[in-house]
Amino acid sequence: MKLIHKKAEGFGDKFALGLVKFLRFFADSFFGNRYGNRAIVLETVAAVPGMVGAVLLHFKCLRKIKNDEGWIKKLLEEADNERMHLMTFMHIIQPSKLERLIVLFAQVFFIIMYFIIYIISSKIAHRFVGYLEEEAVLSYTLYLNEIDQGRIENCPAPDMAKNYWNLPNNADLRDLILVIREDEAHHRDTNHGLADKLREGYQILTDIPAAIKKDSSLF
């Protein structure tokens, strides 16, 4: 897979990219080449943006009585997909008590931080996720390299992963990393694409179709 990087344009993009690089520094310092443990923390925070964005967009729709054009569902699907990544790696890697504590603090910190960013600027928030997913694609590419070099055991994929991604019965860790990396690439493109639209003046919320307004019996 080709590694794609979205060039930062303007203060918002540079802020989002700088924040991601800042978080990457701590991940590199603590986990090094332990990509399985790194993945657990990564997926812990990666499951936050979709849920936070969906909740805030949901309340914005209610407040302004407007339609979300399907973005709430997309964001919730993204959050659920990232949650499945986390659940899968919890079956493969047994994190230490210290790492579980780091996961807890990382989650609390990230929820608060992303909530504030999204309220200030949804464009910056989605650009941030786009850059975060770029790093995820890179991390999983390095993970694959470690497996191919024999430095990480290519163990069988968990049954829950086989069921979720419809993998064959003989699927292994490498097969699993490939499909997860595809997920992350999709999330990267979706969030960068939405950030681009928002920069161009795109409005997520639109007026509710007249047909729904007229059918007051639904309410």
- Per residue in 147-167, pLDDT (tens digit) is 999 888 999 999 999 999 999
Rounded to the nearest 10 degrees, what angle do helices 35-64 and 71-92 cross at? 160
Q: Could you tell me the pLDDT band of residue 22, with boundaries at 50, 70 and 90?
A: confident
- Tell me which of 82-96, 109-123, 180-194 is least confident: 82-96
Q: What is the mean pLDDT of residues 79-96?
A: 87
Q: Could you tell me the pLDDT band of residue 211, with boundaries at 50, 70 and 90?
A: very low
What fold is seen in the domain 12-198? Ferritin (1.20.1260)
d(CA 38, CA 99): 10
Residue 84 tokens read as 């499945």
Per-residue pLDDT at 213 exceeds 60: no
Q: What dihedral angle (degrees, nearest 10) is formed by the CA atoms of 104, 42, 21, 133?
A: -140
Per-residue pLDDT at 28 exceeds 80: no
pLDDT at 97: 81
The segment with the largest mean pLDDT, out of 53-67, 81-95, 142-156, 173-187, is 173-187
Contact 171, 156 (CB under 8 A): yes
Per-residue pLDDT at 137 exceeds 90: yes
Residues 6+ apart with CB under 8 A from 180: 85, 88, 140
Q: What is the mean pLDDT of residues 52-58?
A: 93
pTM: 0.86
pLDDT at 93: 81
Q: What are phi and psi of 172, to 5 degrees?
A: -120, -175
pLDDT at 37: 72
Q: What is the mean pLDDT of residues 58-63?
A: 90
